[in-house]
C-alpha cells in the first residue's frame, strides 16, 4: 500500500482495495451462497425477503478469499506485521434483494467488538483501544453499484467516535449509548458508498460509522452479496501503538 493509501486511511477511516481476491473465488463462493439462501438466482419470484443473513463460512473458497497476499500485505500495513490473526472464516453474509419491504437494519452504527455474552446486542461494547477488533472489513462477493444497496459510509467518522469513546476508558460505550449520543457528532460527515467489482474489499477503521440501505423494487439492481468479517488482533490494540489504526486514534485525541 502506498503512503497515499495510509494517509487516506488516517483521514477518511477506510481504504478500498480493488482485486483483493480473485473474481473466480467470488463466483465459486456466491454459487454456494445462492444455494443456502433457498432462492433461485434466475427466478426473482423466489426473492421473497429484502435481506437474507447467512452464518459462518469456514469452507475453502471463503477462507482463500480472506487470505490473499494482497490482503495480508494490507493487514501488515494497517495493523502491523504479526499483530493480527488470519481469518479462519468469512463470518456473516448479508444478501440484499430488491423488495418493497423496508428492512429494519438500515440505521447508522459502529460495529461492537466485545461484550457479546450479553443477549441484548445494544449492550455490546466498543472502547477507545478497539478491544477485540483490529479492522472492520467489507468483502464484495458480487459486483456492487449504486443500485445494489451499497453500504453507506460516513467519511472521517472514526475520529469523532474516538473522541466520544475516550472518556469512557477501558469499559467503553455500549452500542445503544453510541447510537443515542456519539453518532450525532458524525452527522456532518460526507457520505461514501462501498461500490466496486466482486473481489473488492473495503478495509475500515473499527470506529467507522456505516449503515445498510434497502434496494427498492421499483429500480432494482441485482442481489448484493457482502461479507463483514472482523480482523481480529493477535495482541491488544493501544492508544500508543505503532499502527495506522492506533495512529488514527491518537490523531483524533490530539496526540
- The average pLDDT across 43-65 equals 95
- pLDDT band at 12; cut points 50, 70, 90: very high
Q: How remote is the C-alpha of 155 from its chain's centroid?
A: 13
Are residues 169 and 26 in contact, defined by beta-carbon separation less than 8 angstroms? no
Q: Higher-confidence residue: 64 or 56?
A: 64
Pairwise CA distance, residues 88 & 105, whole Å: 26
Are residues 97 and 150 in contact, defined by beta-carbon separation less than 8 angstroms? no
Reported as half-sphere exposure (CB side, CA atoms, 13 A), residue 135 has a value of: 32
- pLDDT band at 189; cut points 50, 70, 90: very high
% of the chain beyond a pLDDT of 90: 93
Are residues 171 and 123 in contact, defined by beta-carbon separation less than 8 angstroms? no
Pairwise CA distance, residues 206 & 223, whole Å: 26
| In the predicted structure, residue 91 carries a pLDDT above the cut 90 | no
What pLDDT sits at residue 50? 96
Rounded to 5 degrees, φ, ψ at 193 are -115, 135
Cell matching residue 188:
456532518
| In the predicted structure, residue 234 carries a pLDDT above the cut 90 | yes
Pairwise CA distance, residues 90 & 52, whole Å: 16
End-to-end CA distance of the chain: 25
pLDDT in tens, 98-125: 999 989 999 999 999 999 999 999 999 9
Nearest to 131 by CA among 240, 206, 208: 206
Pairwise CA distance, residues 255 & 240, whole Å: 9
Cell matching residue 250:
491518537
Superfamily classification of domain 3-252: q2cbj1_9rhob like domain (2.60.120.620)
The average confidence (pLDDT) of the chain is 96
- Torsion angle of the four alpha carbons 229, 235, 205, 103, in this order, in degrees rounded to the nearest 10: 30
Rounded to 5 degrees, φ, ψ at 136 are -90, 135
Are residues 196 and 153 in contact, defined by beta-carbon separation less than 8 angstroms? no
The full set of domain ranges for the chain reads 3-252
Amino acid at each position: 500500500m502506498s503512503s497515499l493509501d495510509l494517509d487516506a486511511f488516517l483521514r477518511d477511516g477506510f481504504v478500498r482495495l480493488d482485486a483483493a481476491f480473485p473474481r473466480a473465488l467470488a463466483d465459486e463462493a456466491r454459487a454456494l451462497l445462492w444455494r443456502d439462501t433457498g432462492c433461485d438466482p434466475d427466478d426473482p419470484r423466489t426473492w421473497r425477503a429484502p435481506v437474507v443473513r447467512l452464518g459462518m463460512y469456514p469452507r475453502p473458497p471463503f477462507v482463500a478469499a480472506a487470505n490473499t497476499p494482497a490482503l495480508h500485505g494490507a493487514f501488515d500495513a494497517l495493523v502491523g506485521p504479526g499483530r493480527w490473526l488470519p481469518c479462519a472464516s468469512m463470518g456473516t453474509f448479508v444478501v440484499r434483494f430488491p423488495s418493497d419491504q423496508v428492512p429494519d437494519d438500515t440505521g447508522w452504527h459502529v460495529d461492537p467488538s466485545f461484550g457479546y455474552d450479553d443477549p441484548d446486542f445494544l449492550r455490546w461494547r466498543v472502547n477507545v483501544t478497539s478491544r477485540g477488533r483490529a479492522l472492520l472489513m467489507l468483502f464484495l462477493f458480487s459486483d456492487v453499484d449504486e443500485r445494489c444497496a451499497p453500504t453507506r459510509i460516513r467519511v472521517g467518522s472514526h475520529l469523532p467516535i474516538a473522541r466520544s469513546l475516550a472518556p469512557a476508558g477501558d469499559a467503553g460505550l455500549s452500542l445503544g449509548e453510541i447510537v443515542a449520543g456519539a453518532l450525532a457528532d458524525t452527522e456532518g460527515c460526507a457520505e461514501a458508498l462501498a461500490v466496486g467489482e466482486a473481489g473488492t474489499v473495503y478495509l475500515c477503521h473499527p470506529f467507522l460509522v456505516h449503515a445498510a440501505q434497502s434496494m427498492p423494487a421499483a429500480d432494482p439492481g441485482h442481489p448484493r452479496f457482502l461479507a463483514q468479517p472482523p480482523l481480529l488482533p493477535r495482541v491488544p490494540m493501544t492508544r500508543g501503538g505503532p499502527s495506522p489504526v492506533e495512529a488514527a486514534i491518537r490523531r483524533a485525541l490530539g496526540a
